[in-house]
Structure 1
Amino acid sequence: MPPKRKKESSENGKEKDTKKVRTEDFSSDAETKDGKKWNLKIVSWNVDGLRAWLEKDGMSVFEHENPDIVCLQETKCAIAKLPNDIKDINGYKSYFMSAKLDGYSGVGLISKLEPLVVTYGIKDKAHDDEGRCITAEYEKFYLVTVYVPNAGRKLVTLDKRMDWDPKFLKYLKDLDAKKPIIVCGDLNVAHNEIDLANPKANKKNAGFTKEERDSFTDLLSAGFVDSFRHLYPDATAKYTFWTYMMNCRAKNIGWRLDYFVLSERLVPQLCDSLIRDTLTGSDHCPITLLMHM
């Protein structure tokens, strides 16, 4: 169970619980195609700053979902500064990787299931100094949580992104040769026009350049599957990120930047891949994967 929430004093001096009333119902009877119900739930969320996310009730995702594993991206928090609320969650073990630059990037993995091995980075110092990737090995699969480099405003860091993509793909292929993998996180690309609200206006902007989209196509061509599009190939207006500007979230002017990507041989075990766009706390919403493992 998640930690108890803080209490505050009411006007009569008595404490009142500030815990929000649970209104979400994320129960699911999802099954594989051959009728096996899910038994593994993974949540992924770009929190856009861990401490701000905590203040915005981000931890409620543990109550709503009761997940087996939670993966976080863009934590923006040095290991030494991690709040106890996120480090010490009853029933979970936590693993974090921060960037050398405080307040930048960073990823986390919080798991009920204790991994066999946890590794940090992709064995490339320049990228690993930015705290972008944690890999947890479980008995039947690898789980990789990743925050892919953003190409930046006016594409100032597109070169860094184009250096990352083939290196990350090689890293995944090496893992996949040993056992199947689940990749989750903010991949910082809207793969096709259906994956963002305004494709024509964004073809030269970060996240929708030809280079980034082609790199994602290369990933899928190497034996991996975009779980959401596999199940919902024609679903429109399904986004995971909305800029804070111009009331974009309320208008649903967004991008699908967050993914669960699976080894092809895991597809028969896929039950559902969901976008939890009613949960706030960041400029991204969480996504949820249901698998029968």
Structure 2
Amino acid sequence: MRIVSWNVNGIRACVRKGFLYYFKDVDADIFCLQETKVQYGQIELDLPGYYQYWNYAEKKGYSGTAIFTKSKPLKVTYGMDEERNSEGRMITLEFSDFYVVTMYTPNSKRDLSRLEERLEWEDLVHGYLDKLNQKKPVIFCGDLNVAHTELDVKNDRANQGNSGFTQVEREKMNGLLDLGFTDTYRYFNPTRDDQFTWWSYMKGVRERNIGWRIDYFIVSTSFMNTISNSDIHDHVYGSDHCPIVLELSK
């Protein structure tokens, strides 16, 4: 079983850059998107064999998530509750053996003006995932807008305290993992420091691999015996992020 997650930074633009070629080639059982930046009716994707679930932001051209799945879920939940669904940041699919949750975490902004709001969001998400995990295993993926360790950002010293690499944001990731979750990529690549999932659009940055790993597959630790690999498809263009891929043995 294969699950893919990709922050497409605008699905319409990504389609023009070859999204559908990659989608067909990777042949995922479940494909999760973040930052779709569309509203209902603005795009129709012809994806034979897939059920499509979209969570649109109220604000035009902003945020949004989607999941395409070959197997119909038992239940679909948009957001954590109605009051916190206006930005379309989360979708949960419940299957018989596990949940799949995709999320686009709010950025704390360059000047950290949204940091407090982001930390409050994190606390709510941790509580939500913990409740799910008590019922059945969780596969949690998406753009989490944080580089967890020094291995996850090219210039860690220069970026200390910057948005996405503040101590408090990194500690929130520690708190999530302490609830009984595992960062799957780091599990299989404990010391690797040269693979990233996001690069600035500034000229030459991606070519020189000056990036951040801020996109994750985080899985219930109790479910790790079913995970055979966690990979980063950094050869795939079409967005300032690249796809990440989780392989399950079942």
Shorter-chain TM-score range: over 0.9
- Corresponding residue to 2:3 among 42, 64, 67: 42
Q: Which amino acid aligns with 1:263?
A: S
Q: Normalising by structure 2, what TM-score?
A: 0.98
Q: CA deviation at 1:111?
A: 0.4
Aligned residue identity for 2:76: V
Within a 5 Å distance, the mapping from 1:232-247 to structure 2 comes to 232-247=189-204
Task: Kindly provide the amino acid, as one letter, of the partner of residue 61 in structure 2.
Answer: G
- The equivalent of 1:204 in structure 2 is 161
Larger Rg: 1
| Matching of residue 165 in structure 1 with residue 122 in structure 2 | yes
Instruction: State the TM-score, normalized to the length of structure 1.
Output: 0.84
Residue in 2 that maps onto 1:60: 21
Query: What is the aligned-residue identity percentage?
Result: 44
Aligned to 2:238: 281
User: Which residue among 134, 144, 149 is the counterpart of 1:187?
Assistant: 144
Question: Within 2, Cα distance between the matches of 1:141 and 1:200?
Answer: 38
Distance 1:164 1:209, change over 3 A: same
Corresponding position of 1:150: 107
Which residue of 1 is the match for residue 94 of structure 2? 137
Measure how far apart 1:246 and its partner are.
Answer: 3.2
1:190 partner SS: coil
Structure 1 gap segments, 5+ residues each: 1-39
Verify: 1:257 aligned to 2:218, yes or no: no
**Aligned 8 A contact 1:79 1:97 in 2:** no
- The structural deviation recorded for 1:80 is 2.6
- Once the two structures are superposed, the pairs formed by residues 27-38 of structure 1 within 5 Å of their partners are none
Q: Which one of 31, 35, 56 corresponds to residue 70 of structure 1?
A: 31
Listed as ranges, the gaps of 5+ residues in structure 2 are: none
For residues 168-199 of structure 1, what are the alpha-carbon distances to aligned partners after superposition, in whole Å with 9 as ceiling and x for unaligned?
00000011111100001001000000000011
| 3-state DSSP of counterpart to 1:245 | coil
Separation in structure 2 between the aligned mates of residue 166 and residue 282 of structure 1, nearest angstrom? 29
Matched residue count: 250
Task: Spell out, residue by residue over 1:152-182, the C-alpha distance to the aligned partner (whole angstroms, 9 max, x if none).
Answer: 1111111111110000000000111111000
* Aligned counterpart in structure 2 of residue 115 of structure 1, from 57, 73, 76: 73
For 1:234 and 1:153, the matched residues in 2 are separated by: 28
Distance 2:203 2:114 in 1: 25
Measure how far apart 1:124 and its partner are: 5.8
The one of 68, 71, 92 equivalent to 2:50 is 92
Q: How many angstroms apart in 1 are the aligned matches of 2:141 and 2:186?
A: 14
Please state whether the residue corresponding to 1:171 is helix, strand or coil: helix
Structure 1 letter corresponding to 2:103: V
- Aligned-partner Cα distance in 2 for 1:124–1:201: 39
AA at the equivalent of 1:51? R
Alpha-carbon separation, structure 2, partners of 1:221 and 1:120: 25
Distance 1:170 1:61 in 2: 34
Tell me the alpha carbon deviations over residues 234-279 of structure 1, each in whole angstroms, 9 at most, x when there is no partner. 1121100000013210000000000000001111111000000000
Letter in 2 for 1:192: T
* RMSD (Å) for aligned C-alpha atoms: 0.9
Query: Amino acid of the residue matched to residue 152 of structure 1?
Result: K
Partner deviation per Cα, 1:135-166 (whole Å, 9 max, x = no partner):
00011000001001101111111111111000
Of the three residues 71, 78, 103, the one matched with 2:61 is: 103
